[in-house]
Amino acid sequence: MALSEIDRTLLERCLAGQPRAWEDFVDRFMGLVIHVINHTAQCRSILLTNPDREDLAAEVLLTLLQNDFAVLRRFRGKSSLATYLTVVARRVVVRQLLHSRSATPLGDMADNAVADDLDVEERLTNQEEVEQLLDRLDGAEAHVMRLYHLEGKSYQEISRSTGMPTNSVGPLLSRLRSRLRSQPNA
């Protein structure tokens, strides 16, 4: 999905420092940021308090503001702005949850959640490469790669979404990455 005209205009206004642009940006995307925070914590079985949630939202917004909107300036418009912000917000939230002492893990899944979070952090750093690689895949293969690398889904979530056995997801991803990296760019 490409960048909408409304989001393009809003982004240009923010980057130009126009009056009320940042407030309009926050009004438009705060719901998305909160959703990403809640979903990320829930997937990792972490209970957040309202102050935790507010702190995480502030961290996401501060990340967007840092260095004169450097994160927003890197946006290339090849996806929707919401998709880009989801990836950025998830990266910030995962990093903060890993370093936070105020988040309360629930049950035995907490140890696995930390390992998964480290993996998500690594996955998201290769977003641009993955988007280029996805152009060379079709159908189910591209869908699995997108779910894992761009949406940060776990093997279990991919299994539920695609009907593929959970223990087949990792080997498929490894084969696809090997195949894509060995092929010259198309």
Q: Which of 21-30, 41-50, 101-110, 131-140 has the lowest mean pLDDT?
A: 101-110
C-beta of residue 131 within 8 angstroms of C-beta of residue 94 = no
Please identify, in words, the CATH class of the domain defined by 126-186: mainly alpha
Q: What are the beta bridge partners of residue 47?
A: 104
Please state the rounded mean pLDDT for residues 23-41.
93
Which position has the higher pLDDT, 118 or 47? 47
- Say what the alpha-carbon torsion angle 111, 153, 178, 123 is, to the nearest 10 degrees: -70
Q: Average model confidence (pLDDT) for the chain?
A: 80
Query: How far is the C-alpha of 79 from the C-alpha of 63, rounded, in Å?
Result: 20
The 10s digit of each residue's pLDDT in 18-29 is: 999 999 999 999
- pLDDT at res. 30: 95
Task: Delimit the CATH 1.10.10 region(s) of the chain.
Answer: 126-186
pTM for this prediction: 0.57
Fold of 1-108: Rna Polymerase Sigma Factor; Chain: A (1.10.1740)
| DSSP label of 104 | E
Task: Delimit the CATH 1.10.1740.10 region(s) of the chain.
Answer: 1-108
C-beta of residue 94 within 8 angstroms of C-beta of residue 121 = yes
The 10s digit of each residue's pLDDT in 51-86 is: 999 999 999 999 999 999 999 999 988 889 999 999
